[in-house]
Amino acid sequence: MKYYFFLAISLVGVVACTSVSPKAATAEFPLAQESTLIQSTAPLSAGANCGDSASQTLMNQCFAREAKQDLELLDALIRELGGKLGAAQKERLEEVQSQWVKYRDAHCKWQAAFFEGGSIQPTMYSTCIIESTWNRISELKLDLCEGAGMTGTCEASKRYDRPGLTSR
């Protein structure tokens, strides 16, 4: 239940945006730095609930790991999509994605700033990254399908469905 509370708080004011590479994490909110993550490199299980963590520090680490995993999935989608595009379209995708990353980073820093000085600030940043990433995946995954999804989902797009949610 705590997870939904924190997720709901993080969604307040979150504009539908998209994701980027873990390399884009900032020093202020380091998603991929070892010092902020639990030493285990094991992926989160499908049933993992970061909100059930015993402490805010563990919760911050759990959400940071989840954000990193989601960013890696977005990167895989962009690589797969890029492989299906011509040179000009691939270049446009890279430019758009670069601009999207800048927006996402600025937006999530802004969202997290509402909690400045609080131990929950890293969780708020990570949950913004998570939601932004899944929004971006939803925007891009249908481009893998015939007619950029005009005929609906395809097997390729379903690989990028969010766990626990059905494809749209």
What ranges do the domains of the chain cover? 54-161
More confident residue, 54 or 65: 65
Residue 123 has pLDDT above 80, yes or no: yes
Mean pLDDT within 62-78: 96
Highest mean pLDDT among 44-48, 70-74, 144-148: 70-74
Mean pLDDT within 36-57: 58
- What dihedral do alpha carbons 59, 105, 76, 16 form, nearest 10°? 90
More confident residue, 118 or 53: 118
Could you give the angle at the alpha carbon of 99 between the alpha carbons of 153 and 120, nearest 5°?
85
Mean pLDDT within 44-48: 49
Residue 80 has pLDDT above 70, yes or no: yes
Mean pLDDT within 39-48: 43
Please identify which residue in the block is written with the tokens 């990193």.
68
Give the whole-angstrom CA distance, residue 62 versus residue 65.
5
- pLDDT at residue 111, rounded to an integer: 96
Distance of CA 73 to the CA centre of its chain: 8
Mean pLDDT within 52-80: 93
Q: Which class would CATH give 54-161?
A: mainly alpha
Mean pLDDT within 69-98: 96
More confident residue, 53 or 157: 157
Q: What's the pLDDT tens digit per position in 86-104?
A: 999 999 999 999 999 999 9
Residue 135 has pLDDT above 80, yes or no: yes
What's the whole-number average pLDDT of the chain?
A: 77
Q: What's the pLDDT tens digit per position in 108-121?
A: 999 999 999 999 99
